[in-house]
Amino acid sequence: MKILVTGGAGFIGCNFVHYLLENHPEDKIVNLDLLTYAGNLESLADIADKPNYQFVKGDIADMEQIDALFAREQFDVVVNFAAETHVDRSIKDPGVFVRTNVMGTQALLDASRKYGVKRYHQVSTDEVYGDLPLDRKDLFFTEETPLHTSSPYSASKAGSDLLVLSYYRTFALPVTISRCSNNYGAYQFPEKMIPLMLTRALHDEALPVYGTGENVRDWLHVKDHCAAIDLILQKGREGEIYNIGGHNEKTNLEVVRLILEALDKPESLIHFVEDRKGHDLRYAINPEKIERELGWKPQYTFEKGIRETIAWYLEHREWWQHILDGAYKEYFQKMYKM
């Protein structure tokens, strides 16, 4: 098969590209990424020369470029990771999120329909469901939970999900959607919580924790996420949504303390800051549908996954240091003379 992975230079996307090349070496992978601030080709340097892998710099919201790419490549499958994803950035500039997450999705859907893509998969988020109360541990997000967004980011993702489902109903485009909990693992951009806390702690810098740190997230290892998407592509029913969760609920403060303990750093580095506007209290996914229908189960406990993640960042200091000092942006120019 020929698979288009959009946003494949980002955190989850690059892990998925690595996963496909390792587990489906017979497939051809085209990675389309605009290389905005969070896209990093250094994350793909070890597979850049593989004969069944190709990188294309491009914008999913550029309809002319998307149409030309689909006409040339004739993709069998599209997996759309490309998105603006950082909540704080969406509060500062919502328009960028609407353009990429909604208009970009429309461009991909139109091209998929026009050129006969056999499966279009939309990678979404549990944040489209809003949040759950901290004192109701019996409540979980299911695929039937009503959408109730809290930020411009989650609203733009909910809008793109609804657009995807409309193309299934109106045009019979073969689509699936997955909604995941918070991912962590190798190659995550250092603005996200775990690598942010980890890299700051290594420099003995203050760790900014929103509010009291009691907000709860369900943590999903990125490798478990990749395996789940692969199963959905192979066995998932068209027009269906699949929630992917890790069964690993932790408060933000618990996660920060685990990182400090692993690095042998003092808790005095924790610095509580003013809470985020509209900060969701608790995310918790019920993944029974994908477990029951497709046989997926997460392989990582959070304790195992966080140890591996911390070890990866310690062993790859150059990768994240290049991001912190801006040098990672030079990799594209060196590789592609642009």
Residue 275 a catalytic site member: no
DSSP conformation letters of 152-197: HHHHHHHHHHHHHHHHHHHH---EEEEEE-EEESTT--TTSHHHHH
pLDDT in tens, 26-46: 999 999 999 988 889 999 999
Q: Is the pLDDT of residue 265 over 90?
A: yes
pLDDT more than 70, % of the chain: 96
Q: Is the pLDDT of residue 291 over 80?
A: yes
Could you give the CA distance from residue 246 to residue 212 in angstroms, rounded to a whole number? 24
Residue 73 a catalytic site member: no
Query: Which residue, 125, 85, 86, 126, is CA-closest to 284?
Result: 126
Residue 216 tokens, joined: 């709860």
Catalytic residue among 42, 84, 127, 131: 127
pLDDT in tens, 99-125: 999 999 999 999 999 999 999 999 999
pLDDT more than 90, % of the chain: 77
pLDDT in tens, 121-150: 999 999 999 888 888 888 889 999 999 998
Q: Is the pLDDT of residue 338 over 50?
A: no
Segment 282-311 mean pLDDT: 95
pLDDT at residue 330 in the model: 65
Residue 153 a catalytic site member: yes
Catalytic residue among 153, 167, 184, 300: 153
Residue 213 tokens, joined: 């740190």
- H or E element: which one contains 303? helix 302-315
Q: Does residue 258 contact residue 197 with C-beta atoms inside 8 Å? A: no
Query: Which residue, 183, 158, 194, 210, is CA-closest to 298?
Result: 183
Question: Could you tell me how many helices (H) and strands (E) the chain has, helices first?
Answer: 13, 12
Residue 297 tokens, joined: 């189960």
**Angle, alpha carbons 199-183-44 (nearest 5°):** 70
pLDDT in tens, 208-263: 999 999 999 999 999 999 999 999 999 999 999 999 999 899 999 999 999 999 99
Q: How many CB atoms lie within 10 A of CB 274?
A: 8
pTM listed for this prediction: 0.92
pLDDT at residue 336 in the model: 43
Of 121-125, 162-166, 173-177, 207-211, which range is least confident? Answer: 207-211
Catalytic residue among 126, 131, 161, 280: 126
pLDDT at residue 83 in the model: 87
Query: Mean pLDDT across the chain, nearest whole number?
Result: 92
The CA-based dihedral angle spanning residues 251, 296, 84, 107, taken in that order and rounded to the nearest 10 degrees? -160
Residues in Cβ contact with 225 at an 8 Å cutoff, skipping those fewer than 6 apart = 12, 15, 180, 183, 244
Q: Is the pLDDT of residue 329 over 90?
A: no
Secondary structure E strands in 102-255: 119-125, 175-180, 182-184, 207-210, 216-221, 240-244, 249-251
